[in-house]
Chains A and B, each alone.
Chain A
């Protein structure tokens, strides 16, 4: 009972933190906009001022995207780690983000080969073509993985095949890169660095809605996931059709990664790190605690990384992947070392 209270207290504090960071993300940037101006802009009271344009066209979609991509990556990381019973599983291991990269590479880099200039006119921020290509690439790999897992019962084999698919696709991207002009190459590399600011407001809202639906779907499996912690044989003995559950979890996690990657490019480390932070913070593997925890933490950490990447007070900003990796790597190391100690 006490534990439950502490858990909800943590979640409430985290949610408050998310709200605060969200506002900070709107307020800070290369220009500082005061909080009442932020509110005015959001409510449409200062429709045509430059502040309102900065908020509504740039910072709001960016903050919304960061929030929901953080949720998506955190949740998919947890689902995949439980599914594969492997602490190193994460959104990148299934080759899904490689699939997205391949889609984008095909669109952006094929300009070099065909002579059509997608890039200069096409690769504007949040270009819909790139998003669609990334989504299709990611979904294609997801379908392939689902096909494989319906044929092969051993989930570890599925994991290894996913990693191999990733390598194969990256090689194809490499070939495309080799034959590309430097201009397109640069555009592709920029996409690969990841960014929360490629989305328009309608796109970010679409992302928010689809991620929310998937989060709710994920929550429906909280008890099954707990049973799954004991391994496949025990799960079966408790009435779970493990093959069907694996497939459902794979679809939810895969869609989350596909959506996130399509709109932001591959974001490193968040999906891997967030479940570890959640387990350590809440001292539990219980999914009734972890599911809300990774969602709240995902949003919190993505917004925090975005805030840091803006380098408030400076004119420039850092690539988001540099920030997530610099924060994520030490956290994963800390989390794994701490758990290793506990086990002894």
Chain B
């Protein structure tokens, strides 16, 4: 199996000013294989977004090596990288007075020129992405008028249209209702099955991450990093260790969080 993303001895950090840094994580070895679905889990403030931004070069790292498709990140320019990784970020897109189809078509930019029009292949990829994210009936709506869930689907469709082997998503399901969350996770999972795309995402939704992922990257606030299969993490009690809190306990049988008896009354 070829590794789309390989992380080696990476140290991520918060930077305050030029000198002050607080090391968040030291990741000795982690990777995403072709067709793999990897979820990054961790409590608030554990550095999930920092990890994503560090991988994408949007943030300085202390040290370490990141390779995409076996090429060192330092040897890849932004244009080459845009053909390997597409992203869905939490950045607000406020003023885009763009139709859904126009926004999705931006994903074809890395494959065309700054001036040119879309070719047949571009149009096919755009249609396909719109189809996958079930946006057919939205095509001519204006992006800024959509609901949060709809916007998120459009942004994912844009990433799909970019047609890269790896898609990295930062909290793709935040601010979306439960059926919407599951729907998004399922669509991404299908993408890894049907198109052999690799998906790396951060999420707060531990239950669906365990259900859909091939692999979990667990980040703890004290700097530990653990990579493993969901089953194994549940069985070994790691999930309980990391996320159980104040009588809210992860049930290893039902794979969901429960309020333990005795703590049931809210007094």
Contacts and interface: CB of A to CB of B under 8 A. Distances in A.
Interface of A: 3, 85, 87, 219-224, 226-227, 229-231, 233-234, 236-241, 279, 283-286, 339, 342-343
Interface in B5-49: none
Nearest to B93: A230
Contact of B91 (A224, A233, A239, A279): A233
A231 B95 CA distance: 10
B95 A229 contact: yes
A223 B115 contact: yes
A221 B113 CA distance: 9
A234 B98 contact: no
Contacts of B175: none
A286 B102 contact: yes
A220 B115 contact: yes
A236 B86 CA distance: 10
| Most chain A CB inside 10 Å of its own CB: which residue of B81, B85, B114 | B114
B223 interface: no
A287 to B, nearest CB: 10
13 contacts: A221-B114, A221-B115, A229-B98, A230-B91, A231-B92, A231-B93, A236-B78, A237-B85, A237-B89, A239-B110, A285-B97, A285-B98, A286-B98
B113 to A, nearest CB: 7
Interface residues of B, number: 38
Nearest to A221: B114
B96 interface: yes
Q: 4 shortest A-B CB distances, which residue pairs? A: A239-B82, A285-B97, A239-B79, A239-B110
Contacts of B145: 342-343
Contacts of B114: 220-224
Nearest to A81: B95
Given A220-B114, A223-B112, A240-B78, A230 B106 contact: yes
Contacts of A227: 106, 109
Interface of B: 56, 58, 77-83, 85-87, 89, 91-99, 102-103, 106-107, 109-110, 112-116, 140, 142, 144-145, 162
A339 B93 CA distance: 15
Nearest to B80: A239
Nearest to A225: B114
Contacts of B91: 230-231, 233-234
| Most chain B CB inside 10 Å of its own CB: which residue of A224, A233, A238, A239 | A238
A119 to B, nearest CB: 46
B56 A237 contact: yes
B107 A238 contact: yes
Nearest to B83: A239
Contact of B116 (A3, A85, A223, A226): A223
Nearest to B159: A237
Contacts of B82: 237-239
A87 B80 CA distance: 32
A219 B91 CA distance: 27
A284 B95 CA distance: 10
Contacts of B94: 85
A278 to B, nearest CB: 11
Contacts of A226: 98, 102, 106, 109
A51 to B, nearest CB: 44
Contacts of A230: 91, 93, 96, 103, 106
A199 B106 CA distance: 42
A223 B78 CA distance: 16
Given A227-B109, A241-B78, A285-B95, A236 B162 contact: no
Contacts of B107: 238
B233 to A, nearest CB: 30
A238 B102 contact: no
A234 B80 CA distance: 15
A182 B114 CA distance: 52
Contacts of A237: 56, 81-82, 85-87, 89
A231 to B, nearest CB: 5
A239 B81 contact: yes
Contacts of B162: 238
Nearest to A222: B115
Nearest to B94: A85
A75 B95 CA distance: 18
A153 to B, nearest CB: 12
Nearest to A342: B145
B89 A233 contact: yes
A283 B97 CA distance: 7
A222 B112 CA distance: 12
A224 B142 CA distance: 20
Contacts of B78: 236, 239-241
